Chain A
Amino acid sequence: ETGVTQTPRHLVMGMTNKKSLKCEQHLGHNAMYWYKQSAKKPLELMFVYNFKEQTENNSVPSRFSPECPNSSHLFLHLHTLQPEDSALYLCASSQQKGRVLAGGPITYNEQFFGPGTRLTVL
């Protein structure tokens, strides 16, 4: 496997179900991301993990629970979702490059995306 993989590719679930989305990156990156893409809307960042630590939670409802057990794997646990949560969920990874100048901003390479999981909540 190369790049960023996501499973399952398609998921249909009821509002009372609990399911998990899985992402795995084979690029040796140290940062991973969850995005949501709803119909006719831009990609929205949900969560960011750097070196397995969550560094960003973009006001995501608690029915979405991320988990990053190591720098290669990222999960999104889903429970009691609503029909409006139906969307394409994309995982991405990138390599944090470190500070080019002392005290300067941390730079990153571009983000590499997986193929996404198409989620339908009934």
Chain B
Amino acid sequence: DQQVKQNSPSLSVQEGRISILNCDYTNSMFDYFLWYKKYPAEGPTFLISISSIKDKNEDGRFTVFLNKSAKHLSLHIVPSQPGDSAVYFCAARYGGATNKLIFGTGTLLAVQP
């Protein structure tokens, strides 16, 4: 049973508009959430994160929102750029003394010029 779910395998957005990528999780023990971005033939690169005690974290064009009651987080990219086209993975970390990350299956974002 997947504990971290990204239900949209793909998303297409026009350049300059907002991209919203969604992620749902089931385990209330997760204490930290991360978004990674992956280009073909490269490893995932860290994008932005949020602690479970916060509901929003912003870094430039990227904002992550966390709704703990709904066990839902989202990544907003605004404005979207063609170079943002990649696979985006949501990941969640168990609290405590471990750094074990549970990943979603990813969403392929295509930003159309």
Contact = CB atoms under 8 A, between A and B. Distances in A.
B69 interface: no
Contacts of B34: 110
B41 interface: yes
A105 B43 contact: no
Nearest to B2: A42
B75 to A, nearest CB: 15
B105 A115 contact: no
A122 B104 CA distance: 28
B45 A42 contact: no
Interface stretch (B11-19, B60-68, B95-103): B95-103
A105 B103 contact: no
Contacts of B105: 40-42
B88 interface: no
Interface residues of A, number: 27
Contact of A90 (B31, B44, B106): B44
B101 A112 contact: no
Contact of A105 (B2, B4, B31, B42): B31
Contacts of A21: none
A4 interface: yes
B100 A45 contact: yes
B89 A94 contact: no
A106 B2 contact: no
Nearest to B31: A105
15 contacts: A4-B43, A41-B105, A43-B44, A43-B91, A44-B103, A45-B102, A48-B98, A55-B98, A56-B98, A90-B43, A105-B95, A110-B34, A111-B46, A111-B99, A113-B45
Interface of B: 2, 4, 31, 34, 36, 41-46, 49, 89, 91, 95-106
Interface of A: 4, 6, 31, 40-45, 48, 55-56, 58, 90, 92, 94, 96, 105-106, 108, 110-116
Given A45-B100, A115-B41, 4 more contacts: A31-B99, A40-B105, A42-B105, A105-B31
